[in-house]
Each structure stands twice: as C-alpha cells, then as structure tokens.
Amino acid sequence: MSADIQAIPVVAVSYNSPELLQGLLSSLREFYPNPVHIVDGSTPEHVEKIRAVVAGFENVQLHVMGFNIHHGPGMAWAITELGLSGRVLFLDTDIVIRRGGFLELLAEALQPGDYGAGGVAYVNRDGFDIPYAYGAVPYLHPPCMLCNVEVMRQWPLPIKHGAPMVAPMLALHDAGKSDLLRHLDWCGNDVLMGTKKVYVDHIGQGTSQATGSYNLDEWFAEVRAKEAAKALPPPTGYNPDLLALIPATAQAIVEIGCSTGALAHAVKSSRPAVHYIGVELDPKAAEIAARFCDGVQALDLEATDDSQFRDYASRDCWVFGDVLEHLRDPWKVLQRIRAVLPPGGCVVASIPNAQHWSLQGRLSVGDFRYESGGLLDRTHLRWFTRVTIFELFQSAGFRVEAGVPRIFDEPGREPVLNAIRQMAMAMGRDPEGAVRDALPLQYVVRAVAA
C-alpha cells in the first residue's frame, strides 16, 4: 500500500451508535492505518461509550459536538473546520469493510478537479431515488465516497436531509457539471441492501435501528409541505444562450425534449402570447412541463410517421436543447422538419462540442468512458464539432445564420491547449483555429431554410 493511500483522511459522522462505530473502525483497521476523524453528535449518555470505542484505536480523533449535528452538517463541519486538503474518504458508521483494495480503486477513479468518486445513482430534486431518466439528478451516495475536498468547498455543502448530498448534487446538475462525479459499479452495488458485497457492506439504516430514528422529522415535514403546495416553484436551469437565439418574431414554438418546462416558462414569462408546445419522453417531467406549456406530448419523435411532423407545420420555431446528440438519426429528423417548416421558420439548438479540449486530452490517454452526464453522457448517440454541426444542418436543407460558442473558465486547460496546437501543426492545420474550436463546451445555433 502506497504512502499516498495511507495518508488519505477518513471522516465519519456518529450518533448514539457505539456498536456501529466499533464495527466500522475495527474492520477498517484490518486493511488501512489511515487517520480517522469521528464527528459525533451523540447524547450525553452515549458519548462516553463513543469515547471508549475511539480510545481502542490509534490515529483516530473524536470531535464531540454536544448535540445531534446530523449527517449532512457533520460532514460540512469536517469539510470547513478540520483543515483537510486533497482527497478525503467519507464513510457511514454503518459501513463494514469486507476486503482491502477499495480505497485504491476509488483513488484511481478520482481525477484532479473531480468532485468525488463512489456509487452514483439518480434522484429527483427532493433527493428521492428514481430510475434513470432524462433530467434525473446524478447523486453521489455518501456511505462510501472519496472526494477532493477543495472541490467540495466550491459547491454547496451537505445539508441535514435524508439525502445529505442533495444540495451539492443539484448545484452540479444545474451547472452541467455532473461529469465531476465518477461512478464505480462495485461501490454502487455495495451501498445497496440485499446485494452480494464486493468490498464494503452497507448495513443500511444501521443508525436508525441503533438509535430509533434518523431524526428527519423536519425533512419529512418539508417534503410533505412541498407535495401539498398548490403552486410549485417554476423550474430553473434553462440555457440562456438558447433562449437568446429564439427569434422575437416566433409565434408558435415546439421544443423537443422540454424536460420540466424551464425554457418554456422563461419564454412565456416575457411573451405570454407565444403558443408553446413541449415534447418530452419522460412522463414525470412532461407532467411538470404541462404547467408551463400550452400543450405537452409524450412521444418519441423518431418513431412517429410524417403525419406527426405535418401536425407541427404551423410551428415557426423548433427548439432542441441538448437533444440532437441523443437521436438515432438527427439528419433525418432535421430533413423531416425542413419539409414542413413554414416560410421564415427556424431551428434553434444547443449541441455539445466533441472537439472540446477535455475530450481531446482524455482520448489521447484512452480515457474515453461514458458517464452519467456532461460531454460523455452515456445516452449520447451522435457527436459533433463546429464543422460537422454546419454540415448537419446543410445536409438537411438549412443554413446556420447565428451561433454562440459557450466557453467557460475551466482550470487545467492550458497544457492541453498547447498540445492541441502541436497536433494541429503536425497535421498541417491552423493551430490557433484548432484551439478556438477546442474551447467551447457547447455550440448554440439558429438555422433557417437554405
């Protein structure tokens, strides 16, 4: 075991469960000597038992809060108050280590600049587990996760919640940065109950069984209040550059992949007379979007016949927000739109840039792995660069009349951009042009009939 691995600090939040803490620490020490921080919120009658457990292990520090700090705030306290740096392993107290090597695998998966590595599943915006669907929020489960603590401090901290990571995960999702999460199949398996464990055993609700409750009354009350509310808050997270390219003259819009209706709400808020139809495969998202659209259809556009496109012949603006790359044949879809588009109509689309510097860098070392979101979203079927985006629309009978490259301040890109210059020169191409085309994370374009 390398010294770097042994130096990774471990953080666990404890509450009235000395037996669970004993199981965690004794099983961890069978394989790893790493420094451990226990953030304890136990009641007074349990604190002395917790102290006795901690005293039985070397290199373990106990931080007694004197009140039930709860899981999320306990992690947040460790992140902000313990002076931690670099990689930090977070473990639930109801975790038992069954086999060594898991920390090495987490460390191998976690790259500089990543948020964390572990089991990534999907939740809704309240933090409840749901099957994967378009718009679902990738969620790094906290029972066993290795994180770059400096990156954690750049995002909202964990909260007192049945899903304590929901605040940072929502922020990552809404910023299009869920690709900072690294999923390991074994970890996703091991944190579930009723599965054959590979490295760690998540007893599951062990703290609840040991103490009588999760003390989540406030959270459940909040969720019930949300569910009972007559008017839910409008969705957020639309692409402002996509909104900006929708013509002010557009009167009838159809958005393919409207999700929960964030863009529709933004358009209708300033232009209520616009007739806005959404098309959305996810029935739950479509149900929410119906509050902001004039109509929503749950259908697979590629599976419909030409009559469906003729039904949209009055639509003078078609919107695809990060959707074309998910289609089996985006060329054919655009051709069918062109056949019914009225004079003066247009298509507005945002498309990820397959020439982005991060993808080029990862390709150069063979690190092309599908992920839960971002440029390498596992549901992407097609890939486009600036040049091939123009070709996509031209082949369907369109002309791109406006476009915006979406460029963000991304750390670590300069060394890769210098390498891209060298590659372009080696191929006899313009090095500065290659760098310009490697900067945008996305392109947003508006195309009209050629």
Per-residue model confidence (pLDDT) at position 133: 61
Rounded distance, CA 21 to CA 54, Å? 8
Exposed/middle/buried for residue 249 (C-beta within 10 Å: 0-12, 13-18, 19+): exposed
Closest CA to 74 of 48, 49, 93: 93
Closest CA to 322 of 450, 170, 407, 445: 445
Closest CA to 319 of 303, 332, 337, 304: 337
Residue located via tokens 């998910």: 326
Q: Sheet with 317-321: list strands edge to edge.
A: 295-297, 275-279, 252-256, 317-321, 346-352, 442-449, 398-406
Is-contact 182 144, C-beta < 8 A?
no
199: Cβ–Cβ under 8 A, 6 or more apart, which residues?
A: 97, 98, 99, 101, 102, 105, 186, 187, 190
Give CB contacts under 8 A, 24+ apart, made by 287-291: 288/232, 288/235, 288/260, 288/261, 289/235, 289/258, 289/259, 289/260, 289/261, 289/264, 290/261, 291/232, 291/261
Per-residue model confidence (pLDDT) at position 282: 85
Rounded distance, CA 146 to CA 184, Å? 11
Per-residue model confidence (pLDDT) at position 195: 86
In the chain, what are the domain boundaries?
3-228, 240-449
CA distance from start to end of the chain: 63
Per-residue model confidence (pLDDT) at position 132: 66
3-state SS, residue 404: strand
Per-residue model confidence (pLDDT) at position 283: 83
Ranges under pLDDT 50 in the chain: 206-216, 219-220, 228-231
CA 88, distance to chain mean position in Å, is 20
| Tokens of residue 177, six digits | 């940065």
The pLDDT tens digits for 143-192 are: 999 999 999 999 999 987 678 999 999 999 988 899 999 999 999 999 88
Q: Which residues of 385-413 are buried (b: 16+ CB within 10 A; e: fewer)?
A: bbeebbebbeebebebeebbbbeeeeeeb
Closest CA to 318 of 265, 258, 239: 258
Q: Is 344 left (phi over 0), alpha (psi -120 to 50) or beta?
A: left
CA atoms within 13 A on the CB side of 13: 26
Using N-to-C axis directions, what is the helix angle for 414-426 and 357-364, rounded to 10°? 70
Q: Topology of 240-449 in CATH?
A: Rossmann fold (3.40.50)
CA atoms within 13 A on the CB side of 400: 18
Consecutive H or E run containing 344: none
Superfamily of domain 3-228: Spore Coat Polysaccharide Biosynthesis Protein SpsA; Chain A (3.90.550.10)
